[in-house]
Amino acid sequence: KEVETQQKLANVVVLATGGTIAGAGASSANSATYQAAKVGIEQLIAGIPELSHLANVRGEQVMQIASESITNENLLQLGRRVAELADSKDVDGIVITHGTDTLEETAYFLNLVEKTDKPIIVVGSMRPGTAMSADGMLNLYNAVAVASSKDARGKGVLVTMNDEIQSGRDVSKMINIKTEAFKSPWGPLGMIVEGKSYWFRLPAKRHTMDSEFDIKTIKSLPDVEIAYSYGNVDGTAYKALAQSGAKAIIHAGTGNGSVSSRVVPTLQALRKDGVQIIRSSHVNAGGFVLRNAEQPDDKYDWVVAHDLNPQKARILTMVALTKTSDSKELQRMFWEY
Ligand SMILES: NC(=O)C[C@H](N)C(=O)O
C-alpha cells in the first residue's frame, strides 16, 4: 500500500541555497538576531514529516549562503542544476529554498532562462526556524504543495510566502522583519490553504517555455550595475561603475525614473561610449517608467525598465546582453518580459 501511494505522489526535489529559512538564533525570542544559512536541507525536510503526504521529497544542498552574498556565478550554478533536474523524467517539480534579500532576483532569473513547464517554486522565510512563530515551515510546506500540483505547470517561476502564490517576475521584498514581506504591484496569483492551491490570475509576460533565453546557452553574465538617485546626486557613481567595466548601468531613479540635470550629461556621455543606460524607478511600491516621459529616451538612446524595479532590471539586462547589444532589442525585451 505504501509503495502504491509513493508511486502516485509527485517527485519533488528541494534545492537548498541557505538564507533565513536555514537560519538559527540563540533563543526563541530572537526573530531578527540570528545567523542565516546554518541548517542543512536534510534537517529542514525532517522537521516537516507532513511533506511525505504531499510528495516524494528529496533535498540537495547546492550552496549554504545568506542571499545578499549571491553572485552571478551562484545564479548560473543554481540555474544549471534546475535545468538538469527539470530535464529528468523522475522529477515533477523543483523547490528552491533561498534567502529573502535577493529571492526576487533569483526567481526572475530562473523565470527567464529555464525551458520547462514543470513547477519551479522559490521560497524563503522572514524568521529563522528557531524563533517563535517561525514562518519557514509553512512556507516550505506550501512550496512543496505547489511544486507537486499539476495546476502549477506552465505558470512560470513562483514564490510561496505568507500563504500566497506570487509570480517570480512581479514579486518583491517590500518590507523587512514582517512575515508579509513579499508583495507584487499586480497582486498574488493565488493562495495555498492546508496544502491546496487556489488560483485567481495568470502571468501575462513571456517566461520559461515561451522565453527566448536558455540557461544551457549562457556561459557567463555581463557586468551590469545599479546607481541610486536622490537629491543632490551627481555623476560620480555612474562614472566609477562604467570605469570598472559595467556594460550597462541601471539608473535607480526617483519617481518616473527621472534623472537629475547634474547626471544627464554623464549618462549621455556613457551611452556614447557604448554603455547601455536603463531608466528604472526606486519608488517603494513599484515603479512605472515610460519611454520619453521625463527624459527624451529616443534622442539619448536610453532604455526604460517599465515596471521592473532596479534589481529585476539588472537581471533582465544581464540575460538580454548575452543575446544582443542593440538598445532597440533591449527595449523590446523590457516590454515583453
Ligand atoms: N530573511 C532572509 O532570508 C534574509 C537573509 N539576509 C537572506 O537573504 O539570506
Cα gap 130→71, rounded to integer Å? 27
- What pLDDT digit, counting tens, does each position of 53-94 carry? 999 999 999 999 999 999 999 999 999 999 999 999 999 999
Q: Rounded to two decimals, what is the model's pTM?
A: 0.97
Give the atom of ligand 1 at the shortest distance from the alpha carbon of 101. 8
- What pLDDT digit, counting tens, does each position of 223-277 carry? 999 999 999 999 999 999 999 999 999 999 999 999 999 999 999 999 999 999 9
Q: Do β-strands 224-228 and 196-199 pair in parallel, antiparallel, or remain unpaired?
A: unpaired
* ipTM for the whole predicted complex goes beyond 0.95: yes
Helix or strand (DSSP H, E) at 327: helix 327-336
What is the CA(178)–ligand 1 centre distance, in A? 12
**Residue 100 bears catalytic tag:** yes
Give me the CATH topology for the region 2-210: Rossmann fold (3.40.50)
Q: Tell me, what DSSP letter sits at residue 142?
A: H
What is the CA(30)–ligand 1 centre distance, in A? 14
Cα gap 116→317, rounded to integer Å? 22
Q: Residue 91 corresponds to which cell in the numbers above?
A: 522529477
Cα gap 264→275, rounded to integer Å? 14
With a Cβ cut-off of 6 Å, ligand 1 is lined by 19-20, 36, 66-68, 99-101, 124, 126
Give the atom of ligand 1 at the shortest distance from the alpha carbon of 68. 8
User: Per the residue annotation, which of 100, 116, 179, 266 is the catalytic one?
Assistant: 100
Residue 143, SS3 per DSSP: helix
- What pLDDT digit, counting tens, does each position of 115-141 carry? 999 999 999 999 999 999 999 999 999
Residue ranges of E strands in the chain: 10-18, 55-65, 93-97, 120-123, 158-161, 164-167, 172-173, 182-183, 190-193, 196-199, 224-228, 248-253, 276-281, 303-304
Q: Where in the chain is the domain with CATH 3.40.50.1170?
A: 2-210
Q: Is 184 annotated as a binding residue?
A: no
- What pLDDT digit, counting tens, does each position of 2-52 carry? 667 677 999 999 999 999 999 999 999 999 999 999 999 999 999 999 999
What is the CA(240)–ligand 1 centre distance, in A? 29
> For ligand 1, atom 7, which residue shows the shortest CA distance?
99
Give the atom of ligand 1 at the shortest distance from the alpha carbon of 20. 3
What is the CA(202)–ligand 1 centre distance, in A? 28
Task: Say yes or no to pLDDT of 1 above 90.
Answer: no
b/e code 275-313 from CB counts within 10 Å (16+ = b) = bbbbbbbbbeebbebebeebbebeebebbbbbbbbbbbb
Q: Where in the chain is the domain with CATH 3.40.50.40?
A: 224-336
Q: Is 101 annotated as a binding residue?
A: yes
Q: CATH classification of 224-336, choosing from 1.10.490.10, 1.10.3720.10, 3.40.50.2020, 3.40.50.40? A: 3.40.50.40
- Measured distance between the N- and C-terminal CA atoms of the chain, rounded to whole angstroms: 46
